[in-house]
Amino acid sequence: MTSGMRSRPKGRPRAGSRGYAKLVRLHHVSGGRLSARVLDGRKIGDEIQAELRDQLRELKAARMTPGLAAVLVGENPASQIYVRNKVKTCEALGLYSERIECPAATSTENLLGLVARLNARDEIDGILVQLPLPPQVDSKQVLEAVDPAKDVDGFHPVNIGKLVSGRPGLVPCTPAGIIEILVRSQIPISGARAVVVGRSDIVGKPVAMLLLHHHATVTICHSKTRDLAAVAREADILVAAIGKAALVTADFIKPGATVIDVGTNRLTTPEEVRRVFHHPAGPLRQLEAKGSVLVGDVQPEDVREEAGAYTPVPGGVGPLTIAMLMANTVKAARLRRGKEAFRSQPSLAG
């Protein structure tokens, strides 16, 4: 699930205390103003991939190369980029990978047949069905057809059940990556008040469960939560995963809190940029040069002013999602291929 919990070092303030707020606000002083600590997802993702390379050398010495099959349906540009990056990372690490492209008109029955064939192939340890699928496809039926032992996305009901009950299994990649960010950045989780804004099956619910397993006190919020900002402001650890650009503003953030921004929202018009940013000149230049501006679910200027530590967008949670997919693929290979492969297995991804 993660690289493991760390006990609170001697002298470290308890989460939620006044001293804790000071601790996590490991600020850099610039022009007399304090700014929040940036939790660098790219650096942490690189650390995880380096650890995986060590494992893969051991596995290859035992004539085992974990394999991932990525299934892409249609020509969604974002999905094509995501799958290309995942396959590219596999190649860089030395995992075996296949990119299987299906036409946009593919039926549920055709996809179920493809999944059945991949389930039966011993050299394939992980099956990734890239979402979203076209509207004529029953996504739930396809995802549930994946062998739970090869479900490297961690979406299968069997793996979700294992997550809820605290049993070893394949954990959804983005939630697992969030825990890695917190643990490796030495952000105390045990005893902390955590608020998750968003209740999706992919991020919100599983990350809430992981935080609970790490002994945080967890609240899940959503669009029907009364006085959402006031609830969020109680959090020592605030996870924003609701899919709305810059929804989380300064009045959501407890001073000194750790803020994890899962959102990826593209602004494509000057009006959107001006509505989101307090100082839009720089983002407007970016919009003109690139055609869009990427922002998370947290207002980027506010989080720098209020938080003690935060994940940027881009460069925060995103790199961890791919790293944890690789970790899940290696873990699936170990789980499927017997006890000998377990000898030096770390606790990454569950």
- Measured on CA atoms in the order 309, 315, 160, 123, is the torsion positive or negative? negative
Give CA–CA dist 158/175, Å, rounded.
17
Give CA–CA dist 286/342, Å, rounded.
48
Give CA–CA dist 177/348, Å, rounded.
9
Catalytic site includes residue 153: yes
Catalytic site includes residue 86: yes
Question: 49, 55, 86, 236: which is the annotated catalytic residue?
Answer: 86
3-state secondary structure 180-222: HHHHHCCCCCCCCEEEEECCCCCCHHHHHHHHHHCCCEEEEEC
CA-closest candidate to residue 73, choices 98, 99, 101 = 101
Tokens of 216: 């945080």
Which residues in 6-33 are b (16+ Cβ under 10 Å) and which e?
A: eeeeeeeeebbeeebbebbbebeeeeee
What CA–CA distances, in Å, run from 51 to 73, 114, 197, 319? Answer: 32, 32, 31, 15
Tokens of 58: 């051991």
Question: 130, 297, 302, 331: which is the annotated catalytic residue?
Answer: 130
Question: 153, 236, 261, 302: which is the annotated catalytic residue?
Answer: 153
- Termini Cα distance of the chain: 2
State the amino acid at position 161 in one-letter form. G
Per the CB < 8 A criterion, the answer to whether 248 and 259 are in contact is yes
Catalytic site includes residue 339: no
DSSP letter string, 89-106: HHHHHT-EEEEEEE-TT-
Per the CB < 8 A criterion, the answer to whether 3 and 346 are in contact is yes
Quote the distance between the C-alpha of residue 312 and its chain's center: 13
List the catalytic residues.
Answer: 86, 130, 153
